[in-house]
Amino acid sequence: MKSKRNDINIADECKRLRSFHVILLLKDGIRFDGIIQDINDEGVLVLVGEDVFKNPSQNTPNRQNYMYRRYKPRFFPFAALAATYIMPYSYYTPFFLF
């Protein structure tokens, strides 16, 4: 019965953090970061980010490798989620010279 109550707490937390960039911790210890897109009775739909490296040409050594991030939808049932955390972003104040 305790797991049912925990699932309700995680569902409420996911509803509160909808459209935020969060870190999802699964019960098996795996962590994902993504954006919560939709919540239903069974689980949560998350846009999970993945890094993609693209090398424009292998023959030219002076070219830089390009990296970008793309997001793919992935469904996680509430039974698999252990916790959700909001993604911490550091805030830097601009340095002004007066």
How far apart are the two ends of the chain, measured CA to CA in Å?
A: 62
Q: What is the pLDDT of residues 27-81, one digit of tens each?
A: 999 998 999 999 998 999 999 988 887 765 555 565 666 778 889 999 999 889 8
Centroid of chain to Cα 72: 10
* 68 within some domain: yes
CATH number of the structural domain spanning residue 78: 2.30.30.100
The model carries a pTM of: 0.71
* 95 within some domain: no
* 93 within some domain: no
With CA atoms as reference, report the closest residue to 17 among 42, 41, 46: 46
**How far lies 68's CA from each of 12, 14, 40, 51, 59, in Å?**
32, 27, 30, 6, 21
Q: What is the number of structural domains in the chain?
A: 1
Query: What range does the domain containing 68 cover?
Result: 2-86
